[in-house]
Amino acid sequence: MKTKYEMSQDKTKFLAKEKDSSYPGYQVSVLDLEKIVKHYQEKYGIRLIINGTTPKYQALIKERQVNFEQQKQQFLELKYARFLQIFFQPPNLNVANSPFSINKHMGAFIGYYEEIYNKITSFLDAKGKIISGLSLEELRQLNEICQGLSCKGILDAKINEFIERNSDYMGLTARESASEIKDICDELQEGEVLGYFFTGQRTTGRCHFDLYICLPGKAIRPIFYNTALIRYHDLGGMFHLNFPFVEGNFFTPDLLKLYSAMDLQQLIPQADRASCGTLTMMYAKELLKDDARGLKEFTLSFTYYNENGEKEYFFLPSPQVLRYSQISLYNEALKAVVSHENDGQAGLVRKGAKKYMFHTVEKILIQSFKIALEKEDADVLEENQKIWDMLPSFQEKWQESYREMVAKRDMMHQGVNKYLLYSTHRMSHIASDQSINNEAGADRLILR
């Protein structure tokens, strides 16, 4: 009989193969996400949508795509001239600021720059740039000259890539997604919950994904990705994120602003660059399955006043989602946040010789009570009191679940923890093996 923490055969086989690093890795695309969303909705009976799939925003994207097609046709009429207007750089410029740059010193056109420059000299200004304000006839002449270049094939390939890349950015912007999230939360009824995926304006390709848990009147951002540089001292590396993100008063696991004396910035549970799609889906699955039991019984979300008298919105994830964390320090920090204030080690995390101190939920609530009283904020006082009253029993239940999570997670340790990598492996099979009707896609949410 299978014991409580016995590893499945699939995981055992995966780890055996991983000893020689045979798994190549995988990054989810938006097209893949549509298949994966459908799979997890059907398997677990959870509600998931991808940004831009409510009727109002579907129409917005459709309009954007129609406009883009019109622009594309105009561009293609004089595609070489238009491409040079955007990407040709003067010979004294040593830095190519785009993968499409026509630069003398680097990039795809380095071996053809002199030829291009000599052919189009009459269309350059004194600084070596394409003259601004060329007439339609001059653009036609420039376009015709480019058709005789020896690198025409490379130009064609780069132009096609440029158009294709732009066509993928027809999705919702961060601001538009914020509006869609608000609309969804305003329409949800008591007890309803769904997961919302933000795709960074992409509609087909690989990108960064962000997850928002939508509830009536509020939304949770369970993984608090930040655009700042993140230093992982225990990994000896750096992870730089650069992507649009949805702004709003979302409840987040910001670890209560990391009250740490060490050089430690915002922690996230991801260490590599490609696993955000897997991580967000695993969070959605764990929090929403079984009628959202993980969300209802093993998480906290509340408003509080910070030490500066400003409102903050905190979300504590369930321990079971931490199985997928690639950073043990992240997990231990959250465990410290839930620790009892009367414990001599409350809020403390030790990593080797280093110590990290975090404010506990208890400490934050005590501080928030004081400020809310001064401000006569009855709503925050009531919300904080509810959390305070249930906190002792919640702490015990959360810590017990955390210990169970650690036991499961440790079984997938092989040099580094491979729980998330295994999930990525499974997700790649879902994306490749399962066909889907694009018209059906993920469930569409019809707003009332």
Give 329-381 pLDDT, tens digit per residue.
899 999 999 998 877 778 888 888 888 888 899 999 999 999 999 999 999 99
- Model confidence over 249-265: pLDDT tens digits? 888 877 655 544 445 55
pLDDT band at 400 (very low <50, low <70, confident <90, very high): very high
Closest CA to 68 of 192, 167, 186: 167
> Would you say 254 and 306 are in contact if contact means Cβ atoms under 8 Å apart?
no
The reported pLDDT for the residue numbered 282 is: 96
Triad 54, 58, 63: Cα angle to 5°: 160
pLDDT band at 58 (very low <50, low <70, confident <90, very high): very high
Does residue 352 or residue 282 have the better pLDDT? 282
Query: Average of pLDDT values for 80-94?
Result: 94
Closest CA to 330 of 274, 399, 270: 270
Percent of all residues in the chain with a pLDDT value above 90, rounded to a whole number: 64
pLDDT band at 417 (very low <50, low <70, confident <90, very high): confident
The reported pLDDT for the residue numbered 7 is: 72
d(CA 101, CA 210): 30
The reported pLDDT for the residue numbered 384 is: 97
- Model confidence over 193-245: pLDDT tens digits? 999 999 988 999 998 899 999 999 999 999 988 654 334 333 333 333 445 56
Query: Average of pLDDT values for 428-437?
Result: 68
> Would you say 285 and 271 are in contact if contact means Cβ atoms under 8 Å apart?
no
Triad 305, 307, 308: Cα angle to 5°: 90
Strand extents, DSSP E, 240-365: 300-305, 311-316, 348-351, 354-357
The reported pLDDT for the residue numbered 354 is: 83
The reported pLDDT for the residue numbered 390 is: 97
Least confident segment among 153-167, 328-342, 393-407: 328-342
d(CA 279, CA 275): 6
How far out from the chain centre does Cα 229 lie?
A: 15
d(CA 148, CA 158): 16
